[in-house]
Structure 1
Amino acid sequence: MTVLTLIERTTLRSIKLISSAAILIVAAQSALAQSASWQRIVPAGESFTVMMPTQAVESSRLIPLGDKGFIHERVFYSLSAGKRFMVASFVKTTADRVPDLSNFNSFASAIDKSLRGREPQAILSFDHDLASASGQAKQYRLALGEYPGVVRLLETDKAFYALVVVGADENNSDTQKFFSSLVAGEPNAVNEESNVIVDSPANAAELERVRSAMQPEPWPRSGSPIMGGVLNGKAVTLVVPKYPREARKAHESGQVTVQVLIDEQGFVIWAKATEGSENLREVAVEAARRSRFTPTRLMGQPIKVNGVIIYNFVAQ
């Protein structure tokens, strides 16, 4: 064997080793980047935080519950790598109001029933009980059409929680990370770092993307905000708009109607002037956005309200 051949073989081995090391480094960096991309979801007004692989999209859903028909619920979604992650909280009530939300066994039974008789067919099979310091907890296997999934139901002193993964089973590392990350506590304050895309007309495109994604939803029926009519009298704080300089020049007056969407905590999350002078609309919308309202509940659960605020401007 010549010296040149030995050198060539040594060089080839070195190249292979370097290539293998590079592949391992890239794989490790990819895994770290994927892990680092997970977001801490802090929905305003909700009493929990949870980790999801992307920002969560909030949707209002109608969930069948016992003999009471449907209840409106905020459901938070994240779509990633062929999987749909979901979480929803249910405020506990008394047995005379909503029996299915008065104790854990009734809640678990109601969630099971809510998944039946829908398309694609959903089958929920009990897997095992879970240890929990705050209350009862159970895990279920889910089959939603052709997709596997897993459901975890939890209880705290004030609420029930449903965590759902569609597109993976309980052994998947992302499923385990999602389930183990839920932390229940005091209601979250309004926070710009919530990592939640709220359910409002301004986010219609992103909401539609989530609704039409491949992985099916357990509860696909959308729930619309209730209609509240004229909301001036329901305001905790109704901000008075400043009379604008442009309107002052023309001595403009009259009413401006602002359509608003109020979230579950009483904050205005969307506002648009629909009637009134163009010179008066901008300040009316600004005032509406800064106003605060009494939170509304339906069957014990927080719900969004759609309505209008009417401002009367006097010429100055």
Structure 2
Amino acid sequence: MSSPSERSSSSAPSEFVFRLPRRALVIAGIAFGVGLLLFLAVWWAGRDKRFYTAEPVATGTQDSIVEALPEPMPAGEGASGMEEPRQPPPEEERPQLVETAPPPAPPVEPATTVAPPAPGTSPIALAPGASPVPIPGQTPAPAYPASAMRRGETGTVLLRVDVDTDGMPRKVSIEHRSGSRALDRAAVDAVKRWRFHPAQQNGQPVPASLIVPIDFNTR
């Protein structure tokens, strides 16, 4: 059987206690003291050199001097140094628009006359070109046939007129009929009494022909 002391020792919980040796404590104290002495020695040696203070920043150096702004330019010169815009030329130097009159229309070639005619005859006026021209006042209008007017017949007749060198209609033929014989006959009879300026070539009368329209209308 176990004794009461053994039972009490076995029933109590086991405890682990770490104890530094006294020698180690002495060594640690000595090392701390030596380190403190070294720090004080270094601090004392470098106190005059001020290694622990920041040097003042230099101010007012040449590089920090701000250059003065240039003086303002005279009022007559451009503020930016650029050329001033050119002023428009005076009124008298500006180009003026000169209106010119259109060229005159070429004059119409008047009717010419041939060499002096034979005694007792009047001079013959020639047309300005190679085609005969009716003489104003000598082109009587055709008479409207009464029978055609009663029937209400209308239309246009185209006549080919051959004119000789005297301005007389040598031949009158129908190029286009009106659809009424009475109207066609009346147109031919009227143009046979017309007079013309004969065509010319190199200042001399020549025979030529032209187309004459005759319009019949009851309105």
Q: Give the structure with the higher percent helix.
A: 1
**Structure whose alpha-carbon radius of gyration is higher:** 2
State if a TM-score over 0.5 links the two structures.
no
- If the length of structure 2 is used for normalisation, what is the TM-score? 0.39
